[in-house]
Chain A
Amino acid sequence: MTRKPRPARVFVPRDMAAKSVGADEVAERIVAAARTAGLELDLVRTGSRGMLWLEPLVEVETPAGRVGYGSVAPEDVDGLVAAGMLTGSARAEPAYLGLTEQLPWMRKQQRLTFARVGVVDPRSVGDFTEHDGFQGLRRALTMTPAEVVEEVVTSGLRGRGGAGFPTGIKWRTVLGAESDLKFVCCNADEGDSGTFADRMLIEGDPFVLIEGMTIAAYAVGATEGYVYLRSEYPDAVEALNAAIATAREHGWLGRDILGSGLTFDLHVRVGAGAYICGEETSMLESLEGKRGMVRAKPPIPALEGLFGRPTVVNNVLSLATIPTILAHGAAAYAAYGVGRSLGTSVFQLGGNVARGGVVETAFGITLGELVNDLGGGSASGRPVRAVQVGGPLGAYLPVDQFELPMDYEAFAAAGAMVGHGGIVVFDDTVDMAAMARFAFEFCAEESCGKCTPCRVGAVRGVETIDRIVAGDNRRKNLVLLDDLCDLMTDGSLCAMGGLTPLPVRSAVRHFGEDFHA
């Protein structure tokens, strides 16, 4: 009796970034090539491993683990299949990478939040549960809500959206607020350039976000949740809606979740192209169906949030990290990191970088290790001149600051911010006066208009930089620029106007030579 050979198990990402460089076409060619060769194929569409420079990255299951083939073009597929790619025996360089998890990029990481991303089929219930899904929620449900909150406090988790406020403290406030209706809102309006980890997580492991939000709901006593997801991420919208529908079918959302008596349901709301809606109060206004105008604080959203009710507002990565904290305990999570920046963070390398993608690692890794060791320097091969950390409102840093550890306090002390962990690399062709001008232009374009320092200051900032660069009263205008930055920092209602001075001032401070005529 001959045993039928097992079908070849092949993994091709369905992540938007992978698809943007041809992953769908590669998957189609693999299906066709397997059919031609008479091979049985089990094609799994995963999220991305995060090694985006290697996309489309095809992986093949072997007894030793998954073997990777990188930067596979559709026209490469037939040759690779003929050489034995579907059994992992093709060894042709440069596509052949060996065991994916042994690659230096993967070995340098500690993947807690991103543990399943790139590994599982994001639509598969079986994959999720077999890879430890719901362990966090199951443990949480054996505890009291107050114990869950204290576990999150003890873990040291701070808001991954950028502000870095302790997540557990926020939850404690909502738990303590009296109301017959409370909400959990997930801020997935990931508008910062250079950040894409929220998108990759939602596309690659949407069930973990549902699990995290359900734990949050249990902990604070909320019954309804909303994910505010930006319209620029159509694939993520589709993935999350599909995951929510599946979760409802399986009793993971709705009434009596996992037989615990907990009631919680979740809804997706799609943004409409306004950057400011990433600011939490503006997001709440938008969720209420209004213009995304920033609210003055207090009252804080934890007490008067969505529709005036006590509301947890957390970033995607914060909520997606909750399940691992509950599953393995606060101490295990807090064992990672440095100082008051505990746990891991998902850093994103983008812009002019040779090896761009996501790196989840403990806080404390230096900027230089990320940009040079993992990122491999610039994509152009020219010297790296500047990096912007933390999105459009983050500081520009020169190479001589590469010793800075990724740590909220160390960055703040250097006049910068970690933000959402996005790092955008620029080579020596960058004009930093143009980038400073763009920071103001962007603020002028995206300001909600509620407060004057932001609405008017941004426009005056563009004009002032133009005068400086034109050599018009340069010294005086630099003083004026500094004064304007002070005013915006101190007088703006939210971080939009309040932090726009960060990229501007850092550009002037570190790259002053670019501001000469």
Chain B
Amino acid sequence: MTIPATDSAPVPGAGRPHRVRAIATELRELRGALMPILHAVQAEFGWISQTDVPVIADVLNLSVAEVHGVVTFYRDFRREPGGRTTVRICQAEACRAVGGVALADHAERTTGLGFGETTYDGRLTVDEVFCLGNCALGPAVQVGGRIHGRVTPARLDAILGDAR
């Protein structure tokens, strides 16, 4: 029931290259503009398409390889669309000390999703994250921009239920 991360690339919308060029052009004067541009593209479309890369490279006068290298270096930049909701479960030491690994196992049992996987209906992505800065109130889980503390398996079920 899951789509592996390496599935064939989805086709971006027809107006997208134009919009990506506009975003890149607007931000190109910033120092070190590539990261802010990639964040802005992802904020608008939810992911960075392989077809966005040459457009951004052209605006910044960089090689496609350089832009590709940056996109693939950083965990945050998605190269395929994620689910409508992404639930990230902290797997760093402080959350491990209070059951973070068991919580991730529980999520996998109930959703069938391993880290980085999305349900077929595109509603839910489950992923891991290394530290949300909520280390005194773990296990911590992030849903969209919101962070939940002291997450028990029952609360995670409620969070995952809402997300689906």
Contacts and interface: CB of A to CB of B under 8 A. Distances in A.
Interface of A: 16-17, 19-21, 52-53, 55, 190-196, 199, 224, 226, 231-234, 267, 269-275, 286-292, 307, 348-353, 356-357, 379-380, 388, 392, 422, 424-427, 430, 435, 438, 442, 445-446, 448
B153 to A, nearest CB: 16
Contact of A349 (B76, B129, B136): B136
Contacts of A274: 73-75
B31 A307 contact: yes
Contacts of A288: 31-32
B134 to A, nearest CB: 5
A44 B76 CA distance: 34
A291 B73 contact: yes
A290 B74 CA distance: 10
Contact of A196 (B70, B133, B150): B133
> Closest 3 CB pairs between A and B?
A356-B136, A350-B135, A193-B92
A353 B150 CA distance: 12
B135 A286 contact: no
Contacts of A357: 136
Given A17-B134, A289-B33, 4 more contacts: A52-B136, A232-B133, A353-B136, A435-B93
A459 to B, nearest CB: 18
Given A232-B131, A438-B96, A287 B32 contact: yes
B35 A270 contact: yes
A357 B134 CA distance: 9
A88 to B, nearest CB: 26
Given A234-B145, A291-B69, A351-B138, A273 B75 contact: yes
B97 A231 contact: no
Contacts of A427: 97
Interface string B1-39: 000000000000000000000000000001111111011
Contacts of A270: 35-36, 39
B158 interface: no
A125 B133 CA distance: 26
Contacts of A392: 92-93
B116 interface: no
Given A20-B148, A388-B93, A233 B39 contact: no
Nearest to B144: A234
A353 B147 CA distance: 20
A190 B77 CA distance: 19
A85 to B, nearest CB: 23
A234 to B, nearest CB: 5
21 contacts: A17-B136, A20-B140, A191-B130, A193-B135, A194-B93, A232-B133, A267-B30, A272-B35, A272-B74, A273-B76, A274-B73, A274-B74, A274-B75, A289-B35, A289-B60, A291-B73, A348-B135, A356-B136, A424-B94, A427-B97, A448-B73
Interface in B95-133: 95-98, 129-133
A275 B137 CA distance: 21
A139 B129 CA distance: 43
A169 B129 CA distance: 36
